[in-house]
């Protein structure tokens, strides 16, 4: 069966990944995007939106652990968390591992993604039944506009910055996020590949610097994302995101206090690749 191949259609990457598939399990055009679930030979099931692979069952932990635990452990007492996107539930699952978290609002524009995840990805979507969770299906940009000093941590777990996801990397959006955060709040968003999307990353970091007093960048290897070396941009009002503020008491495969410190870009290297002259 190794000859049945799914070619990823990622408009945002200069490379195409190919997966040997066993079975197509689901296909539907929702109001917002094409949703496809396939089972593969090597990665378990894949969730694919508009031709772009969002997650695989085998390695999803690495992306979700680093997206969630870095900002949450950089905060002394995160009680209220906002996730924008993340309809598969993987980030939510990790956030809920923090006992101090009392409330999580998850805003994904597309309710179909949540339904599909509940049906095909039970290990990711388990958190949707937790009583601390509120799910809203609306545009995250519009939602955050309405919030003021409500959240300790805001996490953006969105699709690539095209179409309705593009607004989530703009300076306007970061200003709304800043207002939505409490006085010691932290924002983190997935900001694509360090290799392939460096120019976009520079723009995002520049916009964040206009808004937040502390900005930073960490990266981790996500084996299914184009370019592998995936970036996460941080804006913080008070806490240094490089520091772990609480005892790491959650069960993870990779994330640890040691890797928290390790995943941030060394400062001189950060300065070098963020300079206008540096090109890849």
Q: Which residues bind ligand SAM (CB under 6 A)?
A: 54-55, 63, 84-88, 107-110, 113, 139-141, 157-159, 164-165, 168, 190
Fill in the DSSP letter of residue 264: B
**What single DSSP character describes residue 127?**
G
Active site residue 249: no
Cβ at position 84, least distance to ligand SAM in Å = 5
Cβ 176 to ligand SAM shortest distance, Å: 12
| Active-site position among 108, 139, 157, 216 | 157
Nearer to ligand SAM, 55 or 250 (CB): 55
Nearer residue to ligand SAM within complex by CB, 15 or 100: 15
Name residues whose C-beta falls within 8 Å of residue 64's C-beta, 6 or more positions apart in sequence.
90, 91, 93, 94, 124
Distances (CA, A) of 111 to 35, 106, 118, 180: 11, 11, 11, 23
Q: How far apart are CA 87 and CA 89, in angstroms?
A: 5
Q: Which residues pair with 157 in a beta bridge?
A: 85
Least Å distance, CB 140 to ligand SAM, is 3
Gap between the Cα atoms of 27 and 75, Å rounded:
40
Residue number of the CB atom closest to ligand SAM: 85
Of the two residues 139 and 216, which places its CB atom closer to ligand SAM in the complex? 139
What is the chain's length?
A: 280
Nearest residue (CB) to ligand SAM, 105 versus 198: 105
Q: How far is the CB of 235 from ligand SAM (least distance, A)?
A: 18
The sign one gets for the Cα dihedral 27, 28, 29, 35 is negative
Active site residues: 157
């Amino acid at each position: 069966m190794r000859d049945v191949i799914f070619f990823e259609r990622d408009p945002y990457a200069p490379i195409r990944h190919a997966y040997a598939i066993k079975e197509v399990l689901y296909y539907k055009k929702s109001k917002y995007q094409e949703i496809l679930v396939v089972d593969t030979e090597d990665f378990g099931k894949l969730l694919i939106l508009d031709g772009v692979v969002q997650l695989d069952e085998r390695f999803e932990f690495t992306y979700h652990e680093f997206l969630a635990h870095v900002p949450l452990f950089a905060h002394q007492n995160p009680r209220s968390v906002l996730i924008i996107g993340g309809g598969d539930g993987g980030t939510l699952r990790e956030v809920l591992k923090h006992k101090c978290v009392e409330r999580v609002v998850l805003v994904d524009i597309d309710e179909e993604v949540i339904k599909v995840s509940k049906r095909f990805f039970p290990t990711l979507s388990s958190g949707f039944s937790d009583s601390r969770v509120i799910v809203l299906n609306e545009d995250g940009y519009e939602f955050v506009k309405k919030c003021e000093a409500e959240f300790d941590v805001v996490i953006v777990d969105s699709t690539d910055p095209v179409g309705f996801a593009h607004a989530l990397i703009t300076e306007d959006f970061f200003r709304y996020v800043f207002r939505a955060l409490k006085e010691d709040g932290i924002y983190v968003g997935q900001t694509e590949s360090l290799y392939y999307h460096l120019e976009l990353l520079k723009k995002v970091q520049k916009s964040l610097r206009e808004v937040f007093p502390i900005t930073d960048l960490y990266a981790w290897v996500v084996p299914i994302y184009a370019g592998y070396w995936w970036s996460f941009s941080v804006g913080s009002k008070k806490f240094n995101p490089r520091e772990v503020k609480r005892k790491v008491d959650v069960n993870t495969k990779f994330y640890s206090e040691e890797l928290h410190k390790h995943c941030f870009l060394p400062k001189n290297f950060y300065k070098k690749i963020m300079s206008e002259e540096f090109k890849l």
